[in-house]
Amino acid sequence: MTTSEELPTICPRCDDHDIRVLTVSPVPGAWTMFSCHTCFYSWRTTEPSYATDPATYPAVFKIDPKTIPDMPLFPSVPDPRK
Ligand SMILES: [Zn+2]
């Protein structure tokens, strides 16, 4: 877990560095929410390390930023039934 004062330097999901503060707790210092502007993953400082730490984020859910442009925007809509 990171403290609310630290801006992470690496995204847990895509390992990119474009991390910004998304929002903060209405209770000062309770938590901070960060967002990656490369893969749009977001996380709160109070989440466990598997959601906040690039080293322990599940490998199966990691994203290579180079593959993002080729990802579908939405699930495809099936053809209408006949
Ligand atoms: Zn990311």
Is 59 within a domain? no
d(CA 80, CA 51): 39
The rounded Å distance from CA 69 to ligand 1 centre is 13
Ligand 1 center–CA 63 separation, angstroms: 8
69 domain residue, yes or no: no
Q: 62 CA to middle of ligand 1, Å?
A: 9
Whether residue 64 is contained in a domain is answered as no
Q: Is residue 20 part of a domain?
A: yes
Q: 2 or 33: which carries more pLDDT confidence?
A: 33
Pick 6 or 13 by higher pLDDT: 13
Q: Which residues contact 39 (CB under 8 A, 6 or more apart)?
A: 11, 13, 14, 16, 63, 65, 68
Residue 62 inside a domain? The answer is no
Structural domain containing residue 31? 1-47
Expressed in angstroms and rounded, the spacing between residue 27 Cα and the centre of ligand 1 is 27
Total domains, the chain? 1
**Does some domain include residue 68?**
no
Predicted pLDDT of residue 2 = 45
The pLDDT tens digits of the residues spanning 9-57 come to 999 999 999 999 999 999 999 999 999 999 999 999 999 999 999 999 9
CA–centroid distance, 81 to ligand 1, in Å, is 38
Transcribe 44-64 into DSSP letters.
ETTS-HHHH-TTTS-GGG---
